[in-house]
Amino acid sequence: MTLTLLNNRYQVLRELGSGGFGKTFLAEDTQMPSAKRCVIKQLIPVVNNPQVYQLVQERFQQEAAILEELGDRNSQIPQLYAYFMEGGEFYLVQQYVEGKTLTEKLQQQGVLSEITVKEILINILQILEYVHSKGIVHRDIKPDNIILRFSDSKPVLIDFGAVKVTMNTEVSPSGNSHQSIVIGTPGFMPMEQSAGRPVFSSDLFSLGLTAIYLLTGKIPQDLPTEPNLGNILWRHFAPYLNVNFGDVLDKAIAYHPRDRYLNAREMLTALQTLSNPIAPTLPVPQSIPTILAAPVTAGYVQPQTVASLPTSQPHFQTQYPVTSNNGLGTWQQAVIIGGVIGSFLVGGFWVLGIVNKPQITTTNTTPSPVLSPVENTNITPSNTSISPISQPTTSPPEPIQPQTTSSISREAAIQGLETWLAAKRQIFSPPYNKELGSKLLTGPVYTKFISKTDNPDACLARGNNEDDCLSSVDWLIRNRAYWVYGVQKIQAVRNFVSSGNNATIIVVVTEQRTLYNKNGNVDKSQSGLFTSTTSYDLQYENGEIKIYNYK
């Protein structure tokens, strides 16, 4: 059936999606002066007989009234504009939310920061507290059903499952109504919902898995489970996560409802009592800021460019053999550099020049394998998941206290590298935080990655080459490119030497990174999971440990 004008009022513009219960359309209201856009959901009963149709019609009216109340009283639930029946099918007319779904945000930006995920959770839990107070279980919370609204960046909860339940009504020979199909999304719904008996904590389970997806990029089906208790094992995919925040999520996704939070308010309180998470920190006076992504489109909206998580993969050619003699352009050089920096910050505080020249071994493989520290220098990631039992979860290291002795400790050096790894997400993608880079880098590395000149455009206008004018960050900004990071882990420390205010450390680092160009396309040749061995030089400067050079 070709849809053009519905209810003699709504002009269909295009189909937005379809599923087992019907279709969704973007439409214009021809009876409004502004031709206001709206979303129309066409719902089709699973059984076609007069007895069931009458029952579905009554329940549809009841559910429409509930949706109207929910949308009118909560600004983060779409408003219901109208409902009607036409041609034996049922229609809901709802507010059109311009934004991007959480799925789209992750696909465009990469895994989200802990602070961002926590803010999303707090917002959704406040919505659920209101929804549950009405005796309603959403039944289908997942990344696709949460839209980040462009106008204010707030999450909006869409696609309530109650109407789908109504469409799924059947009548037994004895005259009793029942549901033949489970409402929900496999993987995101808990066992009691799969059995057709959802409770309020079922929504919390789905929300917890949504948060884990945003933190790790892993859908539930890709996460292993504990053989005996059935609990989901995921923390080894987010090694830098605050342990207390991880505990909150673990409780939300517990296998049995009795082990979860009783309601949204209880989980909300647990989250709000947590301190703001920070990645492992160096002796930096301020906590690392959160990355804010620019808007990208949702299922119904025009996409825009968004920020991603960066690695130290910026543009440069001196410290690493990436020169015009190799036939590499600026873009390729920037890519390779990014890879180097990933290693750079984990391996080389090479101030003393005492360590033998390290080998750099890079392996590109399937994303997100979990690796345990190994003794040999060349690490080859495998596609086999490693049990989280061998990956103990610990809270982020405490900020390094100012040095009271004349030498840099091994622990402080390692912590400095961990801080750098976390900071790359904010330095090499929007907001391209140069100030943070100045707190972590010094000397030639600072010049190479953060700032070669105060005015790169003027430098280029004088006829200089990009390599002479643009630091890695400046090149990324100028070309609207950015790095996105997944797993970042120091696997092993090969050597450490410290003398006075200088130290050198050689480390093996595994890092998952993706390079995006200005069109949002991935450079596959430079993206993947890499393991490298690198030597880093550290320098104690103005009360802080900074990276001076790498090899």
How many other CB atoms are there within 10 angstroms of residue 283's CB atom? 20
Strands, sheet with 528-541, edge to edge from the N-terminal-most edge strand? 482-499, 502-516, 528-541, 544-550
Q: Which range, 278-292, 327-341, 353-367, 369-383, is most confident?
A: 327-341
Tell me what pLDDT residue 297 has: 31
Q: What is the pTM of this model?
A: 0.52
Place of tokens 């059984």: 47
Distance CA 460, CA 184 (A): 56
Whether residue 180 has pLDDT greater than 90: no
Q: What share of the chain is helix, strand, coil (3-state, %, to 5)?
A: 35, 20, 45
Q: Largest alpha-carbon pair distance within the chain?
A: 88
* Of residues 85, 59, 86, the one with CA closest to residue 164: 59
Q: Catalogue the active-site residues.
A: 140
Q: What is the structure's pLDDT at 454?
A: 86
pLDDT single digits (tens) 240-278 = 888 899 999 999 999 999 999 999 999 999 999 986 544
Sequence-distant contacts of 267-275: CB under 8 A, at least 24 apart: 267/125, 267/204, 268/122, 268/125, 268/126, 268/129, 271/118, 271/121, 271/122, 271/125, 271/245, 272/122, 274/118, 274/242, 274/244, 274/245, 274/248
- Give 89's pLDDT tier (boundaries 50, 70, 90): confident
Tokens 């080389």, located at residue = 348
The pLDDT assigned to 202 comes to: 95
Rounded to 10 deg, the angle between the 264-272 and 243-252 helix axes is 180
Rounded distance between C-alpha atoms, residue 56 and residue 179, angstroms: 12
Six-digit token pair at 419? 């801080």
Q: Helix or strand or coil: residue 455?
A: coil
Tokens of 489: 């882990």
CA dihedral angle for residue 470, residue 474, residue 477, residue 479, rounded to 10 degrees? 10
Give the integer Cα–Cα distance in Å for 450 and 448: 6
Binning pLDDT at 50, 70 and 90, where does residue 481 land? Answer: confident
Q: At 338, phi and psi to the nearest 5?
A: -55, -45
- Give bridge partners of residue 484 from the DSSP assignment: 514
Name the token pair of 318.
């001196």
pLDDT in tens, 287-311: 333 333 333 333 333 333 333 333 3
